Structure 1
Amino acid sequence: MTDKECRIAIDSPLWDQSTFIGRFKHFAYATDPRTVFVSERQLLNAKTLCESYKLRQEPANTTRCNIIYAKKLYSSAFHPDTGELQNVIGRMSFQVPGGVFICGGMIQFYRTIPAVLFWQFVNQSFNAIVNYTNRNAKNPISATQLSLSYVSATTSALIAAIFSKRYLEKNATPFMQRYVPLAAVIAANFVNIPLMRQTEITLGVDVVDENGNPIGKSRAAAVKGISQVIVSRIFIPLPPMIVLPLIMNKLEPQLWFKQRSYLNAPIQMLILAAFLLITVPVGCALFPQRCSIDMDTIKRYDKEFYEDMEKEHGEQLPNKVYFNKGL
């Protein structure tokens, strides 16, 4: 690739992240479920190519398409803070295959408390892995803290699931009881995400100026970022888990469908996959990943951290700082 060509900014998305459409395009590209099946060797080669390209040391026969594909693999599999290869289950690109299996199980098996508990346990264990993998990774978390967070988050989610199940059994029609999994998922996300990322709330997250220069830490920034992640993560399963029971409620009484009961699971999985291919990038794109917060907000809610920033930077403190909110 010659210098005459327009070079790609490896550390920045290909599309404008200040607009929803730009963010949607970026996350549709980065959460492509096909990247899950790319070998670890290919992923590491993609990272090496991106690093070489950044230093203008890429092989002479490298094309623009090579760089764009390598950047796609890098975005899908490596953490933006640490550059470390993420575990497969925790990657956002695994949300579609993982979501199809788990959401399908929750929607299909909702009639008994043991079934609800089992699928909520699977779902919240999956969520815990995703939440940990996509956290702001600049705050270290010990194995003990991680274990306690996982147990607390999963236990709380199971309690929320039981409460939702019993409440809807007493107060809802049989059709509305199909929404037990949805109610449990919404309630559990309010518990699981903050618990799995509690060190960010207690210790604060690193904030930088618009040029990426470190400014300090902020708990208010962590709360804002985690709140946005909760909204995004609730949205992802919301459309399929609302629409799918309506579709199945219409199909199940049909004679042709009763005679072909083997179609039940495949139809549900196809509908879920179609929805999740859209809702995963949409959910991720609801808010910018590079989140911002006003310095006045930090001054109001993070007085201790603000004083530290003021001591170090004096009158040069920016009006706004930025941080990675995670996914």
Structure 2
Amino acid sequence: MADTATTASAAAAASAASTSTDAPPFQLGKPRFQQTSFYGRFRHFLDIIDPRTLFVTERRLREAVQLLEDYKHGTLRPGVTNEQLWSAQKIKQAILHPDTNEKIFMPFRMSGYIPFGTPIVVGLLLPNQTLASTVFWQWLNQSHNACVNYANRNATKPSPASKFIQGYLGAVISAVSIAVGLNVLVQKANKFTPATRLLVQRFVPFPAVASANICNVVLMRYGELEEGIDVLDGDGNLVGSSKIAARHALLETALTRVVLPMPILVLPPIVMSMLEKTALLQARPRLLLPVQSLVCLAAFGLALPLAISLFPQMSEIETSQLEPEIAQATSSRTVVYNKGL
């Protein structure tokens, strides 16, 4: 029976391939684009954050899931193209959690990160903020980040709520402390002119958010450093659990979290400082907030796929760099591990 199902699945795949020449042959559960190059990873993550999947109806989601089930069991109807299969997989991965198969709340999906996060970025970059507004926007930003992290977590192993609360509180406290501290220092800097002080204040959110992101990653995933993470050989077989690979995974993720807010929180202040001098905005100050929102949206849309494309989702490391027991457990020169997002 298994051989029959496999043959039928292969036949269905061949049928799909023959009816679609634009899309690559479909592979269930595999990325559509090659992950060995930065461009391939960039195209892959553009699919993941595509905000159009937020508008997929319940009926379309059921159809996509059913299409993938038909492909898996070799009962795919004739005429289904590779493009349709890739589209169905994109929809399922954007909406349903891969481990629990439950729908992810829309604001916390990766595809909702930019639309729901942009208003927060605009709030972080508002000029002349009071102490209360600084605390509010930093708290809201880290709350949103924590919920996105939790909603897209690896749910194959149970994680205690205390770990989530610890990471959340650590991120909020570090972000608020750094933002408030830097703002106080800027206010007390008598050497700055009012214009310079305003410009410097606009860059305060970046170090606050970047440091909080690192704190969030370390605290939320500290268990990986203690227990290690799974490493696999070239055939996908489990080799063992490595603490060294866990350190590499956390370092790569932390670097991503530092790069991510850089264009979002650095480019808009530079662009806005130039745009504010134009005759159009000086004559129509009410346009400042809408223009700043568009600038932040563009920066966010560029920064997110660029940052998460820096490292492959499945990273590779030489076995000689890992624990001796890992190196002795496989003949492979390299092993792979899931870096996480």
Same fold (TM over 0.5): yes
**Cα offset, 1:225, TM superposition:** 1.5
1:197-248 deviation digits (Å, cap 9, x = unpaired): 2222222222211221112212222221222122223323322322211222
Match for residue 195 of structure 1 among 204, 213, 219: 219
Match for residue 142 of structure 1 among 147, 157, 160: 160
CA distance in 2, matches of 1:43, 1:286: 30
**Cα offset, 1:84, TM superposition:** 4.9
Q: Give unmatched runs, 5+ long, in structure 2.
A: 1-11, 18-24
CA distance in 2, matches of 1:52, 1:100: 38
* Paired residues of 1:131 and 1:193 also in contact (CA < 8 A): no
Match for residue 132 of structure 1 among 135, 145, 150: 150
Residue 3, structure 1, aligned to residue 18, structure 2: no
SS in 2 for 1:323: strand
CA distance in 1, matches of 2:58, 2:225: 33
Percent pairwise identity = 35
Residue 179, structure 1, aligned to residue 203, structure 2: yes
Partner of 1:68: 86
Which amino acid is 1:202 matched to?
E
CA distance in 2, matches of 1:45, 1:229: 34
CA distance in 2, matches of 1:255, 1:315: 69
Residue 15, structure 1, aligned to residue 33, structure 2: yes
**Cα offset, 1:159, TM superposition:** 1.9
**Cα offset, 1:139, TM superposition:** 3.9
Residue 120, structure 1, aligned to residue 134, structure 2: no
SS in 2 for 1:291: strand
CA distance in 2, matches of 1:110, 1:321: 51
| C-alpha spacing 1:322/1:155, structure 2 compared with 1 (3 Å) | same
**Cα offset, 1:80, TM superposition:** 4.9
1:16-44 deviation digits (Å, cap 9, x = unpaired): 11001111111112211111232455335
* Paired residues of 2:46 and 2:305 also in contact (CA < 8 A): yes
CA distance in 2, matches of 1:317, 1:203: 23
Residue 158, structure 1, aligned to residue 169, structure 2: no
TM-score under structure 2 length normalisation: 0.83
| C-alpha spacing 1:291/1:168, structure 2 compared with 1 (3 Å) | farther
Which amino acid is 2:141 matched to?
N
1:293-316 deviation digits (Å, cap 9, x = unpaired): 2222221xxxxxx54x57xxx553
**Cα offset, 1:2, TM superposition:** 6.0
Partner of 2:247: 223
TM-score under structure 1 length normalisation: 0.86
Residue 316, structure 1, aligned to residue 341, structure 2: no
* Paired residues of 1:110 and 1:116 also in contact (CA < 8 A): no
Q: Count how many residue pairs are aligned between Structure 1 and Structure 2.
A: 317
CA distance in 2, matches of 1:90, 1:233: 17
More moved, 41-50 vs 152-161: 41-50
> Which protein shows a greater Rg?
2
* Paired residues of 2:16 and 2:81 also in contact (CA < 8 A): no
CA distance in 2, matches of 1:208, 1:82: 23
| C-alpha spacing 1:250/1:229, structure 2 compared with 1 (3 Å) | same
More moved, 83-92 vs 188-197: 83-92
Which amino acid is 1:320 matched to?
T
**Cα offset, 1:165, TM superposition:** 2.5
Residue 265, structure 1, aligned to residue 286, structure 2: no
Q: Give unmatched runs, 5+ long, in structure 1.
A: 300-305
Partner of 1:33: 51
1:120-165 deviation digits (Å, cap 9, x = unpaired): 1011111112223344444421123322332233223322322333
* Paired residues of 1:76 and 1:91 also in contact (CA < 8 A): yes
* Paired residues of 1:132 and 1:197 also in contact (CA < 8 A): no
Partner of 1:326: 340
* Paired residues of 1:139 and 1:205 also in contact (CA < 8 A): no
Partner of 2:21: none
CA distance in 2, matches of 1:317, 1:165: 55
Match for residue 212 of structure 1 among 236, 246, 263: 236
CA distance in 1, matches of 2:292, 2:306: 21
| C-alpha spacing 1:114/1:315, structure 2 compared with 1 (3 Å) | closer
Partner of 1:101: 119
- RCO comparison, higher one (Cα < 8 Å, 6+): 1
